[in-house]
Structure 1
Amino acid sequence: MIKSIKIRLLPAKEQELLMYKSCGVARFAYNWALAKWEEQYKQGLKPSKYSLKKEFNNTIKKNPNYSWLYEVSGQITVQAFEDLNTAYTNFFKGLSKYPRFKTKKSSRKSFYVRYDAVKFKDGKVNIEKVGKVKYKTNYDIPNLDKCHNPRCSFDGKYWYLTFGYEESKNQAELNKDLSIGIDLGVKDLAAVSYMDKPIKNINKSKKVRKLKKKLKGLQRKLSRKYEANKQGNKFVKTNNIIKLEKTIKLIHRKLANIRNNHIHQATANIVKLKPYRVVMEDLNVSGMMKNKHLAEKIAEQKFYEFIRQMKYKCEFNNIEFIQVDRFYPSSKLCSCCGEKKESLKLKDRIFTCESCGLTIDRDKNASLNLGKYKSA
């Protein structure tokens, strides 16, 4: 199994400048390839990454006006064409939306690192063209025969190097009598059949609420500054506006890190119970997001990320992971007698069985039903 490691880089000023240039080159090559792909497609041609790569090398790289492309690793532009090809493949398979152009303002700053040049020695990692960069991590770097898809990225505050490596699956002894059902929700992050208390919603914590309140105030302040500096139909971006935008971006970063950390801890605690299987519902998250009253709450809960982490952690520990059909009535079935309650509505948070008289929290009842689920 391929596991990933993320380490923080501590580049010097000259190295950081090269990293910024690398991000720019990766974005330029991707946008150029996307424009050419669309152009050839409209002409009735069949574009491919090979033809675009050849045209890029013959027309752009040989042009003296683009000599700055040689300041960074050549593998960055090569990988940009691979990334675009993957984006189109996922689009045609229905796994993602149509590829879009990357803007300097909103796109993620990242670039591909040549895998065979990545070497760790004396607290430094070698990155092609950038040089030996200091790094900081709590992980023990394994002896790497090969790095899988190494990427260098910037999150608005720090630089990181992310890469994958081969690791054998965890052969821990599992509890063959323990089947865990997980029901995701908005009030609490998840109700787990084997746990007495649900996994709390981190967005209701004092720290997150304080950050969101601060963010709201800064966004209003930024909006007023934009209106005050409006000239005709254009907005003039002053130094104060730039500072405010940077502060807002860092708060978004902090909120994202808090939520991701909470999900990692929750999924790790479930896996530590060593069940032989984990059962969850196949949620239609994109459909749920269309509800304007719940869209923000659902987005903050990060259901997709929770499911993704459960999948790979179960796979690594040889735990069977099952996603039942999204139309399976886990909330309407009585976890005691199995009677189905057709009249149950979304606003009913307590499940009361008319047959056996069971009274239980709706989400807890659903998690117990999922834990008992019998696959066909």
Structure 2
Amino acid sequence: MQRLQAFKYEVMPTGEQQRNMRRFAGSCRFVYNKALALHKERHERGEKKLGYAGLCRLLTEWRNCAGTPWLRDAPTHPLQQSLKDLERAYTNFFARRTDFPRFKKKGQGNSFRYPDPKQVKLDQDNSRIFLPKLGWLRYRNSREVLGAVKQVTVSASGGKWYVSIQTERDVDQPFP
């Protein structure tokens, strides 16, 4: 039986890494809000909703635009993941499972996710993890990570930064 499990640790970033994490979270929030505003504009004009692929093409334009050169500094996968999150929010809204997607506010729920496990390197012996464009981050290793890494989420809460490592592993079927 496959088991998904997440392990959350406090990260001890350097000053430069902390600034980059704030910037990356802000970039993901900007992309999410810009795509949501675009959806609202298109809806008011009576146009069809853009899908995820269309938004990814626009993301490339936004990254190459002279007005937003700082988007190039952020890793691409977390930006694309924020567009997937918006797509999922729209799907849930139209399935009547939740309210209409809202704009994200600065300082609330600052996070970004690396969905590709090939980009992440975990060194448990030295209590550090490698994330693209951040480098090696030290974390407080309180327990062993079990299984293969599936995705990594970096989030801020209460002035501290955390890393959540989602893993997948085989376990025996529990007996009733």
Question: Pick from 57, 66, 76: which aligns with 2:78?
Answer: 76
Q: Distance in 2 between matches of 1:52 and 1:6?
A: 31
Match of 1:159 among 158, 161, 171: 161
Contact 1:6/1:162 (<8 A) preserved:
yes
How much does 1:129 deviate? 0.2
* More deviation, 162-171/150-159: 162-171
1:233-244 correspondence runs (5 A): none
Distance, in Å, in 1 between the alignment partners of 2:121 and 2:59 is: 30
The equivalent residue for 1:5 is 7
Q: Which structure has the larger Rg?
A: 1
Q: 1:43 aligns with which of 35, 42, 45?
A: 45
Alignment of 1:25-36 (within 5 A): 25-36=27-38
SS in structure 1 of the partner of residue 79 of structure 2: helix
Contact preservation (8 Å) 1:25, 1:76: no
- For the 8 Å contact 1:118–1:147, the answer to whether it is kept is no
Between Structure 1 and Structure 2, which shows a larger proportion of strand residues? 2
Answer yes or no: is the 8 Å Cα contact 2:9–2:163 preserved in 1.
Answer: yes
Query: How far apart in 1 are the matches of 2:78 and 2:175?
Result: 43
Provide the TM-score with structure 1 as the length reference.
Answer: 0.43
Q: How many residues align?
A: 170
1:372 aligns with none
Q: Deviations over 1:300-358 (max 9, x none)?
A: xxxxxxxxxxxxxxxxxxxxxxxxxxxxxxxxxxxxxxxxxxxxxxxxxxxxxxxxxxx
Residues 1:127 and 2:141 aligned together: no
Residue-by-residue CA offset, 1:136-175 (whole Å, 9 max, x unaligned) = 132212352x413x2100002321111321123454443x
Deviation at 1:23, TM superposition (A): 0.7
- In structure 2, the residue matched to 1:111 is 112
User: 1:26: how far off?
Assistant: 0.6
RMSD: 1.7
Look up the match of 1:196.
none
Structure 1 outlier segments of 4+, above 3 Å = 169-174
User: AA paired with 1:147?
Assistant: K
More helix by share: 1
Structure 2 residue ranges without an equivalent (≥5): none
Which AA in structure 1 matches 2:94?
Answer: F
Partner Cα distance (1:38, 1:163) in 2: 34
1:193-342 equivalence runs, <5 A: none
Distance in 1 between residues matched to 2:173 and 2:127, nearest whole Å: 31
Q: Is residue 109–residue 156 contact of structure 2 (8 Å, CA) maintained in 1?
A: yes
Q: Which amino acid aligns with 1:36?
A: L
Q: For residues 29 and 67 of structure 1, what CA distance do their matches in structure 2 show?
A: 13
Counting aligned pairs with the same residue, the percent is: 27
- Look up the SS of the partner of 1:147 in the other structure: strand
1:96 is aligned, of 79, 95, 98, to: 98
Kept after mapping to 2: 8 A contact 1:36/1:52: no
Gaps of 5+ in 1: 175-376
In the alignment, which residue of structure 2 is the partner of 1:141? 145
CA distance in 2 between partners of 1:73 and 1:61 (Å)? 11
Higher RCO (CA-CA < 8 Å; seq separation 6+): 2
Q: Is residue 86 from structure 1 mapped to residue 88 from structure 2 by the alignment?
A: yes
- 8 Å CA contact 2:10–2:139 kept in 1: the answer is yes
